[in-house]
Amino acid sequence: MSSANPTRACEGARHVDRYLDPTVRWTAAADAAMRGHLRTCDRCRGDYGRRVTLHRAMLGADLEMPSGFERGRMETALLDAAAPAPAPWWRFAVLPALAGAAVAVALWVTNAVPLPTPDPADYVGTRGGPSDEVTVGIGLSGVVAGREYEVVEGALYLDDALRITTSREVDEPDHAFIMGFQNGVTPIFYWPDPDNGELASMVVPRERSAALRAAGESIQFDLAGSHVAGRLVVVALFTPEPLSVAAVQEALGGFQMGEADRPELAAERLQATGAVVRSLSIDILPGSRRDASP
Amino acid sequence: MADTDLLRDDAKLRAAFKAGERQALSEVYRVYYSVAHNVAGRGFGNFRGFWNPADREDAVQAIFAAAFEPKARDSYNGLDPYTAFLRGIGQNVVRRMLERDARFKRTDGQPELEFRPPDDTEQDLIDAETHTVVRRFRESVSEPTESAILDRYFVEGEAEEKLAEGMGLTRYRVRKVIALLDRRMRRFLKQHGLE
C-alpha cells in the first residue's frame, strides 16, 4: 500500500543511542529531533527514562538529575540554537565551490536493476564543481500496480507512486533530507516526515540505489493528492549530522512556491544549509503509466 | 547566607548575556540549571512536576530556549534576582506545555497542573534492585586516570579541553579514555541483561 505519509520505523532508540554516546557529536538538530520524537512516542519516552536513569546509576549520580555529561549535551544543543559557534572551516572550503554552480544535479534514474554508474547524459544540471565528487546521490522511479518503472524521458505519472532511492559511497555525509518542490504546491517532505514526528534528517544506508525504507519495507509516495501535473524538483541534502526541519525551513526563508517560476531556486537556497546538495528535475504527467504504455 | 545572584551582580556578564554571547549564555545555563530543573521537576502551585525524565528535560530545554530569546534577555532588568525572573519564564513555559499536549489534559475541565505517574510499587522495587546492581560499575573503575575522568567528565560535565589541561594529558588521550569508559559501561549493561 502506498502512502504519502507512510508509517515509519521508530527512531527513538537510535536518537537515545547517539545522545548517550560520547564519541558522537551532539547538535541542536539532533536534540530537537530526539525530543520531538519523545513527545509523540510513549514507548520511546519510557525507554529514554530507563536508559538515562541507568546511565546515572552507573555513574553513582543523582537519578533525578541529568549527569554532567547529559547536561553538556543539553547545553551544546541549546547554545547551538541560541548562539551558533562559527561555522567549521570546511564549510568555507566547500561552499564557494558550490556557490558558483547552478544546482548540483545527479539524475540517477533507477529501476529494478542495480544503479548504473552515473552517465553524463543523465545529468540535467551541473555539478557543484571539481571538489564535489559524486559520492552521494538520489534516484527516482515510478510505481504502478506494484511494479516499478523507469523514469523515461524524465517523466512520471500523477496517478502512479514515486519511489526514491539514495546512493552513498562514503561514510559521511550519511544523513539525508529529501524534499520536493512544485509550482503552487507547499514544499513536500519525503524524508524526514515532520507530520510523523520526524524533525531532522535521517541516516540512509551506505549502498547504491537503496530505496527509502520504513519498518523494513520500501516507501513509495502516492503522487495524486500531494502533487500536481507539472515540473517536480526533488532536492536531497546530505550532511554528516542530522539536519533539522527548522534549519531547512530557515534556509528556504520566504521562498514561495506559488510565486516562483522556477522550483529549481529552492535547491539553490538550500545550499545555505551547508549540505551536499543533489537535486533532480522531472515532469509529472496526467494519468498513469499503465495507460500510456503500449 | 548572602543574597547573591550572579547575573544581577555581575554587570559584565549581564551585558554579555544580553548581547547573546555564547560564553555568557553557557555560564548562565550552568549556574541557573537547577532553577529550571526545579520548576520542571518539582513543580509550582498545584503542578507537582514532571515525573518522566523525558518530559522534565524537554521542559528544561524549553525554559532555557525561551529565556535565551533576545526579547527575554532584553527584558531582564538587572535589579531583581535572575533566579526569580527565570522561574517566572519557566512557569509560563510549563503552563504552555501542559495546555498544548493532550497527554496532560484532565477530564474535569480544570487546568491540568497535576501530572503524576500511577503508583507501581512492584516496578519501583525492580528499579531499585536494578540500580543497586548498576551502581557496582562505579566501584569497578579503580584506575586513577579512568576514575578521575569518569567523575570529572561524565558526572560533573567538565569539558575535554579543560580536563586534558587539568590532568596534564593530551586531548587525544582524554578522548581515548572517555571512549573506553563508554564501551565498558555498555558492556556492563549487556552483561547484566540491561541493554
- With b for 16 or more beta-carbon neighbours within 10 A and e for fewer, the A199-238 pattern comes to bbbbebeeebbbbbebeeeebbbbbeebbbeebbbbbbbb
A204: Cα separation from own chain's centroid: 9
Q: Which amino acid is at B64?
A: F
* β-strand partners of A224: A227
CB contact under 8 A, B179 and A22: yes
User: In the predicted model, is pLDDT for residue A227 greater than 50?
Assistant: yes
* CA–CA gap between residue A129 and residue A124 (Å, rounded): 15
Answer whether CATH 1.20.210.10 is correct for domain B121-191: no
Q: What is the structure's pLDDT at B134?
A: 86
Where do the H-state alpha helices sit in B43-104? 53-67, 70-75, 82-100
Residues from chain B contacting residue A64 (CB–CB below 8 Å):
41
Provide CATH 1.10.10.10 ranges for chain B. Answer: 121-191
Residue with the larger pLDDT of the pair A56 and A226? A56
Query: Which residue in B160, B176, B167, B165 sits closest to B145, CA to CA?
Result: B167
For the entire predicted model, the pTM comes to: 0.58
Q: How far apart are CA B34 and CA B92, in angstroms?
A: 17
CB atoms within 10 A of CB B79: 6
Q: Where are the beta strands (DSSP E) in chain A?
A: 136-144, 147-149, 155-157, 161-168, 175-181, 188-191, 202-203, 210-211, 213-214, 217-218, 221-222, 230-239, 276-285
Q: Tens of pLDDT along B54-70?
A: 999 999 999 999 999 99
All three cell numbers of B91, joined, read 512557569
Counting one residue from A and one from B, how many pairs have CB atoms under 8 Å apart? 111
Q: Helix, strand or coil for residue A140? A: strand
For B114, the 3-state DSSP assignment is coil
Query: Above pLDDT 90, what percent of chain B?
Result: 62
Question: Which residue of B30, B34, B56, B58 to mutate against A (max A Cβ within 10 Å)?
Answer: B58
Contacting residues of A for B54, CB less than 8 Å apart:
35, 38, 44-45, 48-49
Of A95 and B191, which is predicted with more confidence?
Answer: B191
Read off the pLDDT of each residue in A86-110 and give the average, rounded to a whole number.
39
Give the pLDDT score at A293. Answer: 52
- Mean pLDDT value of segment A155-163: 87
Contacts of B60 in chain A (CB under 8 A): 74
What is the rounded CA–CA span in Å between residue A118 and residue A104?
A: 13
CA-nearest residue to B50 within chain A is: A64
Q: Name chain A contacts of B138, Cβ cutoff 8 Å.
A: 58-60
C-alpha span between A103 and A90 (Å, rounded):
19
**What 3-state DSSP class applies to A239?**
strand
Fold that domain B6-99 belongs to in CATH: Rna Polymerase Sigma Factor; Chain: A (1.10.1740)
pLDDT digits over B132-183, tens only? 888 889 989 999 999 999 999 999 999 988 999 999 988 888 988 999 999 9
DSSP letter (8 states) at residue A119 = P
- Contact: A52, B53; criterion CB under 8 Å: yes
Q: Find out whether A35 and B61 touch, Cβ atoms under 8 Å.
A: yes
The pLDDT, as a whole number, for residue B151 is: 94
Q: 547538535: which residue's cell? A: A27
Contact A67 B150 (CB under 8 A): no
Chain B residues in contact with A75 by the CB 8 A cut-off are 26, 29-30
Q: Which residue has the higher pLDDT, A185 or B7?
A: B7
Q: Average the pLDDT over each of A3-12, A231-240, A247-256, B141-150 and give the range with the smallest value.
A: A3-12
Q: What are the residue ranges of CATH 1.10.1740 in chain B?
A: 6-99
B193 Cβ neighbours under 8 A, 6+ residues apart: none
For residue B157, give the 3-state DSSP assignment.
Answer: coil
